[in-house]
Amino acid sequence: MPLLAAKNKLIKDLEIALTEMKNAGAKDGANPNAAIKQYASAAANAIQSYMESASVLGTSTVPPRIAPSPLFGAGTHSGGPFPYSSGKVSFSSNSKLKLDIEAAEINAKTAGTADGASPDSIIGGLSKDLASGIHSFATTAIVSIQVLIPPGLPVMGFMMLTSPSPVPPPLPSFGVGTLGNGTGKLS
């Protein structure tokens, strides 16, 4: 599913994790480190779930493939989409995410110092700010895709026999299978 469709679930999951941390910290004799550890685990699970919900949109580049026998000419594979693919997501930098999280925490701290501040309202605002930062970060992902082009895929045009003599008419051709590479983005 597109990341934007999963954003509201991420906001809710982070809001639950923060509320649980608040409730754990409000108990007499609360251990702040235990509450933070619980929050970190829940937040990491929420972020992982969000990132794994992404749709990968890719553009595949399939190199021309020479037929295995010198008796045949060359052709270019055509067709698709290619269902046999694997991809890798990476990021060039997370510096903006760090700034977004820092800003969200500062906004929550500032809101908490106001007279009559509502902890539930602060948690809701912080959850939305964190989710927005994570969403912005996720959409900067670089996706590398490797696509397996299955054997038997039609080749554009026809292959010509170069021998025997006389040369017979062109034959329809099929590929022997190959790998293609591509890049994409998360949506």
User: Token pair for residue 132?
Assistant: 């927005």
Q: What is the pTM of this model?
A: 0.55
3-state secondary structure of 160: coil
Show the DSSP H helices in the chain as ranges: 3-26, 32-52, 95-112, 119-138
**Bigger pLDDT: 41 or 124?**
124
Residues in the chain: 187
pLDDT of residue 163: 52
The per-residue pLDDT for range 63-116, each reduced to its tens digit, is: 554 444 433 444 444 445 555 566 667 778 787 888 899 889 889 988 988 999
- Provide the mean pLDDT of the chain: 74
Q: How far is CA 114 from the centre of its chain?
A: 39
Q: In the predicted model, is pLDDT for residue 34 greater than 70? A: yes
pLDDT of residue 87: 64
pLDDT of residue 18: 92
pLDDT of residue 41: 77
pLDDT of residue 125: 95
Between the alpha carbon of residue 29 and those of residues 33, 34, 35, 124, the distances in Å are 12, 12, 12, 26
The DSSP element (H or E) to which 57 belongs, if any, is strand 56-61
**Closest C-alpha to 72, from 162, 148, 132, 8:** 162
Strand partners, 57: 185
Q: Could you tell me the pLDDT band of residue 32, with boundaries at 50, 70 and 90?
A: confident
Enumerate the domain spans of the chain.
Answer: 56-186
Distance between CA atoms of residues 58 and 72, nearest Å: 32
The per-residue pLDDT for range 117-152, each reduced to its tens digit, is: 999 999 999 999 999 999 988 888 877 776 666 666
